[in-house]
Amino acid sequence: MINIGLVAEGTHDFIMLKPFITHEVSSRFGKRVQFRQLQPAPDSTGNMTSGGWARVVGWCQSNSGPRLDTFFTPLFSNDAPCDIIILHLDGDALEVASQHHSFTVPSAILDAKQRVSILTSILEHFLSPTTEQRGKIAMALPVQHTESWVLSAENLPGDPETIDAKKELRKVFPKPHRRLSDHYQKRVSGLNGAIPKETCVSYRCFVDEISNIRI
């Protein structure tokens, strides 16, 4: 069993990311996986704490350097260690996240791979992992939204990374009858194991991150 700690923008992202992470990690290591939701995390009542890109950045800042080791080697025996930590940010967070980092976003239009590369550098800056720690961390950085990965797996015509994927996925949401989280769960369950197409650049970057994991 591989224990995965997930730091994500929100609970809907967790719903969407889980099957893709499960597929890639299980394929890579030949083992089952289980998740520990690090951010957003459940509070004492079982409700989830608030999310957003700033919470991901804040988690990285609060757990940088030596503090990161406590997730891989817990201080207390009843805390399960993480074998892998996956950090998630939506690609549309690049501009606002860069304002908290010394990096200036180029004025030219960025392609998906460039956007993922810059976000990776920003998260690495805030987390400051050692080389050994970085070998247990993977970046999941969909462009522009996690919904683009779901739409790609659904074989939506065109390039879901160039549209408002969040709006596209939610446009058939039956608001009076169902919670939004239920709608996301239904869409993800309907994938039946499908993963984003080869043309989904940010997902290919995620696959590369998983291939570099060393546990």
Distance CA 139, CA 58 (A): 16
Given this model, what pLDDT does residue 209 score? 98
b/e 110-137 (16+ beta carbons within 10 angstroms → b): bebebbbebbbebbebbbbbeeebbebb
pLDDT number for residue 101: 62
CA distance 49 to 67: 21
pLDDT tens, residue order, the chain (215 aa): 999 999 999 999 999 999 999 999 999 999 999 999 999 877 655 566 667 888 999 999 999 988 999 999 987 777 789 999 999 999 888 877 766 666 666 666 788 999 999 999 999 999 999 999 999 999 999 998 999 999 999 999 989 999 999 999 998 776 655 688 888 999 999 999 999 999 999 999 999 999 999 98
> According to the model, what pLDDT value does residue 120 have?
95
What is the structure's pLDDT at 96?
Answer: 75
Q: Which helix (H) or strand (E) holds 121?
A: helix 112-127
The pLDDT score that the predictor gives to residue 29 is 96
pLDDT given for residue 155 in this prediction: 94
Q: What is the pLDDT of residue 179?
A: 85
Asked whether the whole model's pTM tops 0.85, one would answer: yes
Q: What is the pLDDT of residue 107?
A: 63
For residue 5, what are the β-bridge partners? 36, 85
What pLDDT score does 100 carry?
66
